[in-house]
Amino acid sequence: MKSRDEQFDTSVRASTFDVDVTSHGPTMLRQCFALFHEADRPHVAAWASVENGKLGLFWHADPKASGHPLPSKLTMDEAADLAWRWLLTAERPDDAPTGDGDALPCGWRVRSEGGGWSYCILTVEPTWAYWGK
């Protein structure tokens, strides 16, 4: 039987890294992107695509995705700035949430992609930000 320290050996790298964050604003977006820098993931984005209303950032050209190489490799902080600029002009879903509060079209959702072998680091999509009372 392994000791507790051996069971939680952080030198072993697991391939599981699932992120799904919905929030709003450039500061939170940058903090969310920092998760991908700190994780055992590539630290630069080299390729981007926009498909089905989502911005995808890749560490390598993905033959399964349409897209283009970025003019230069971007750190996750630089990629967050690119994503924010894209979000400012991206179309929002038509279905604003309803309820006892306000829905404003300034939200975003960031998800890790993959679940196996993938060149995709993350996807960003515009969404509604909801403030409840």
State residue 108's pLDDT score. 94
d(CA 14, CA 61): 23
Tell me which residue of 97, 74, 98, 94 sits closest to 86, measured CA to CA. 74
If 0-12 CB within 10 Å is exposed, 13-18 middle and 19+ buried, where does residue 8 land?
A: exposed
State residue 4's pLDDT score. 56
User: Considering the entire predicted model, what is its pTM?
Assistant: 0.78
Instruction: Indicate the domain borders of the chain.
Output: 19-132
State residue 93's pLDDT score. 74
State residue 118's pLDDT score. 66
d(CA 98, CA 103): 7
Q: Which residues pair with 109 in a beta bridge?
A: 22, 125
pLDDT, tens digit (0-9, with 9 covering 90-100), for 32-54: 998 877 655 556 888 899 988 99
**Residues of the chain under the 50 pLDDT cut:** 115
The DSSP code sequence of 82-108 is HHHHHHHHSPPPS----SSEEEEEEEE
Three-state DSSP state, 51? strand
First-to-last alpha carbon distance for the chain, in angstroms, is 51
Element holding 7 (H helix, E strand)? helix 4-7
State residue 5's pLDDT score. 58
Evaluate whether 91 touches 53 at the Cβ level (below 8 Å).
yes
Across the chain, what does the average pLDDT equal? 79
Contacts 24+ apart (CB under 8 A), 60-69: 60/119, 61/119, 62/118, 62/119, 62/120, 65/119, 65/120
